[in-house]
């Protein structure tokens, strides 16, 4: 299993609430149509936790998107589909910036 993790910021002129509303109501239904997408999770930022003993990394985001695929080949195949292209086109309407990582989970506590 492979996963992408995207750190998302809203477009200029959008409030956090408008961003989340579009992400849930318009964007999420498009994800259901992407072939090979095994799981899709939206993480909505509701606050921040800091620690006194570790410096805070300077990053401002509005949400974290997680998309699971069987493997790298499935991700690449899905990326070429009209359904994924529609998902990306919709993302361009409300996402102002994104940083996406491809990760493999190492589950420590089940």
Q: Which domains does the chain have, with CATH numbers?
A: 2-48+60-103 (3.30.70.100)
Q: What is the pLDDT of residues 30-60, one digit of tens each?
A: 999 999 999 999 999 998 999 999 999 988 9
The model's pTM: 0.91
Residue 25: strand, helix, or coil: helix
- Give the span between the Cα atoms of 28 and 40, in whole angstroms: 8
Q: What is the pLDDT of residues 65-79, one digit of tens each?
A: 999 999 999 999 999
């Amino acid at each position: 299993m492979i996963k992408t993790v995207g750190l998302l910021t809203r477009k200029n002129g959008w409030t956090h609430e408008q961003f989340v509303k579009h992400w849930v109501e318009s964007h999420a239904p498009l994800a259901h149509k992407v072939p090979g997408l095994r799981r899709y999770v939206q993480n909505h930022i509701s606050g921040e936790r800091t620690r006194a003993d570790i410096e805070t990394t300077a990053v401002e985001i509005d949400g974290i998107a997680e998309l699971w695929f069987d493997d790298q080949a499935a991700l690449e195949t899905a990326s070429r589909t009209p359904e994924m292209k529609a998902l990306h086109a919709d993302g361009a309407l409300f996402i102002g910036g994104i940083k996406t990582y491809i990760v493999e989970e190492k589950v420590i506590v089940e």
